[in-house]
A and B are shown apart, each in its own frame.
Chain A
Amino acid sequence: MTAPNAKRPVFLTLTRIHFPVMAILSLGHRLSGVLLVLSIPLLAYLFDRSLADARGYAEVVALSRDAGARVGLLLLVWAFAHHVLAGVRFLLIDLDIGVTLRGARASAWAVLAGGVAAMLGAALLLP
């Protein structure tokens, strides 16, 4: 292995990197991904509880209407929407769709707005 530039950053030092909108989108993709992974054990628990018996099912339904749980749920709605939209954007870029600088910037803004819009929509529409 040769080292053409010994000073190159080996790890990503977040405080020293300038962030264009695509970088914010990408960081949000990672952040939302980690958040969704952390929710997997909770999802497994709720899934098991809701299928176990009628009482467990009623508990899960009641929890989805609890105000505190609703805040967490809306956060997960944002994480999910942002992660999916950003992921689809990355897949399209893999297919050479939207690779121009203008297109990539515009789609990055659209994804950021879409994630927030999904959260606001869920806040308004959830029963």
Chain B
Amino acid sequence: MNRRARGLRAWLWQRLSAVYLLAYTLFVAAACAIAPPASYDAWRAWMADPFVGLATALFFGALLLHAWVGMRDVIIDYAGALSLRLALLAVTALVLAGAGLWVLQALYSLHGR
């Protein structure tokens, strides 16, 4: 994709991730409506299931991507000064990356023991 279509790519990722976020949310809501994990062991076993774990990891990946595109739009619109803009973008990227690694570690640790 060329330079002029970069905005279009972000726009497309924003929508693709939105559709997955909604699908995963409906999946979890349906699972909780049918049989909510009522104890620690049930919750842990559910998240340790490869399908649920993978879907959840993908959810957080899509969430971070969606959050990044959205925050970038908001920051570019309202933060006029370049230094402020770069600082806010850097903090956002760091916080999102940190949260992503944290979640991955939590999911991974279910299989390490």
Docked-complex contact A44 and B103, CB < 8 angstroms: yes
Contacts A11-B80, A94-B15 known; A40 to B63 CB distance under 8 Å? yes
**Closest chain A residue to B15, Cβ basis:** A91
Docked-complex contact B102 and A45, CB < 8 angstroms: yes
- State in angstroms the CA–CA spacing of A58 and B38 once bound together: 11
B interface secondary structure, majority: helix
Give how many A residues have a beta carbon under 8 Å from the other chain's beta carbons: 27
Give how many B residues have a beta carbon under 8 Å from the other chain's beta carbons: 33
- State in angstroms the CA–CA spacing of A48 and B69 once bound together: 25
Selected A-B contacts with CB under 8 Å, 24 pairs = A11-B77, A12-B77, A30-B74, A34-B71, A36-B67, A37-B67, A37-B70, A37-B92, A37-B96, A40-B95, A40-B99, A44-B102, A48-B105, A48-B106, A50-B43, A51-B43, A51-B47, A51-B106, A57-B40, A57-B43, A84-B22, A88-B22, A91-B15, A91-B18
